């Protein structure tokens, strides 16, 4: 992948359907997410289709699913499948994986295998959906392996559209996605490169505090149109955190086209925009792993 030829790197896209047609979420939770994002009728693209979409725009994209089988009972899309399909498009796709911390030692072995043999660059965690607190020692062996491998840990933070307005929120506990719970992780694994995903409503100030304080904590801007970003997020993105904020869309529920159009209206200096759109992600994701 040649970063010089790219317009942007989208660090947050979802593989929603597997080769066999299996979806990443149960129909109930997928429907709730579609209601929340007003995304009924959007296609669930294959990874090949995602590659064509981003290549046409001269962009790269990080691709992942979420392994929440322990909490939801819904079988995941195989990480190997996503990595293999991304490997067919190395000019435009960057494979991430997702390993539920509840998988224990087997999950640690899987993480090592995915990085060493399948080219995976990072791991997506969705604490609310997976049913664990990020600072739970349950997950520490997995973080240790990710840190050692030089991979990235990306944590969903803030409210989630998954389970929204479903009875009891579909069993999803929002408190697990408070970014302050990731602060302990950043202390205990000081070399682990971390991304806090999304504007972290209702904990935006906590996310900004952690990213400002901890050397290797970044923030991605996915899941929201930039015109709805809290003013303090825009201010920090353009100043103190200009080297640690990353473009992410949440494709396919939010397209990069819409995100970029709204981003163009934000009060951010022209010199900072390339950092957010590409340069920060290139430095984080395209470096050599240990």
Model confidence pLDDT, tens digit, residues 7-23:
999 999 999 887 877 77
Please state, in angstroms and rounded to a whole number, the distance separating the CA atoms of residues 32 and 141.
33
Q: How many folded domains does the chain comprise?
A: 1
Domain around 53: 3-285
Query: Taking the complete model, does pTM exceed 0.75, yes or no?
Result: yes
Read off the pLDDT of residues 99-158 as tens digits, 9 standing for 90 and up: 999 999 999 999 999 999 999 999 999 999 999 999 999 999 999 999 999 999 999 999
Q: Is residue 200 in a domain?
A: yes
Q: Is residue 290 in a domain?
A: no
Q: What angle do CA 7, 240, 216 make, to 5 degrees?
A: 75
Residue 9: per-residue pLDDT:
98
Q: Is residue 66 in a domain?
A: yes
Residue 160: per-residue pLDDT:
87
Per-residue pLDDT tens digits of the chain, which is 290 residues long = 788 899 999 999 999 887 877 777 667 766 666 666 666 566 689 999 999 999 999 999 999 999 999 988 888 999 999 999 999 999 999 999 999 999 999 999 999 999 999 999 999 999 999 999 999 999 999 999 999 999 999 999 999 888 777 888 888 899 999 999 999 999 999 999 999 999 999 999 999 999 999 999 999 999 999 999 999 999 999 999 999 999 999 999 899 999 999 999 999 999 999 999 999 999 999 865 54
Nearest alpha carbon to residue 216 among 153, 123, 135, 136: 153
Please state, in angstroms and rounded to a whole number, the distance separating the CA atoms of residues 123 and 211.
18
- 65: CATH: 3.20.20.140
Q: Is residue 17 in a domain?
A: yes
């Amino acid at each position: 992948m040649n970063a010089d030829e790219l317009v942007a790197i989208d660090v947050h896209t979802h593989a929603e359907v597997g080769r066999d047609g299996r979806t990443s979420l149960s129909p109930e939770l997928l429907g709730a997410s579609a209601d929340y994002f007003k995304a009924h009728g959007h296609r669930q693209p294959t990874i090949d289709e995602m590659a064509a979409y981003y290549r046409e725009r001269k962009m790269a994209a990080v691709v992942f699913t979420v392994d929440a089988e322990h909490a939801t009972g819904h079988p995941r899309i195989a990480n190997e499948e996503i990595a293999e399909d991304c490997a067919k498009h190395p000019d435009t796709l960057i494979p991430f994986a997702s390993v539920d911390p509840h998988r224990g030692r087997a999950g640690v072995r899987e993480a090592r295998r995915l990085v060493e043999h399948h080219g995976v660059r990072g791991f997506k965690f969705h604490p609310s959906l997976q049913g664990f607190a990020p600072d739970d020692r349950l997950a520490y062996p997995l973080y240790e392996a990710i840190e050692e491998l030089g991979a990235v840990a990306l944590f969903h933070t803030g409210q989630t559209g998954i389970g929204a307005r479903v009875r009891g929120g579909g069993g999803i506990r929002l408190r697990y996605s408070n970014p302050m719970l990731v602060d302990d992780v950043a202390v205990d694994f000081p070399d682990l490169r971390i991304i806090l995903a999304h504007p972290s409503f209702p904990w935006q100030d906590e996310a900004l505090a952690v990213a400002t304080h901890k050397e290797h904590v970044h923030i991605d801007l996915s899941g929201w149109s930039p015109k709805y970003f809290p003013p303090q997020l825009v201010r920090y993105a353009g100043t103190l955190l200009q080297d640690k904020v990353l473009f992410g869309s949440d494709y396919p529920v939010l397209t990069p086209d819409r995100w970029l159009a709204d981003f163009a209206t934000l009060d951010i200096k022209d010199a900072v925009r390339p950092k957010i759109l590409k340069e920060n992600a290139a430095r984080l994701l395209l470096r050599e792993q240990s």
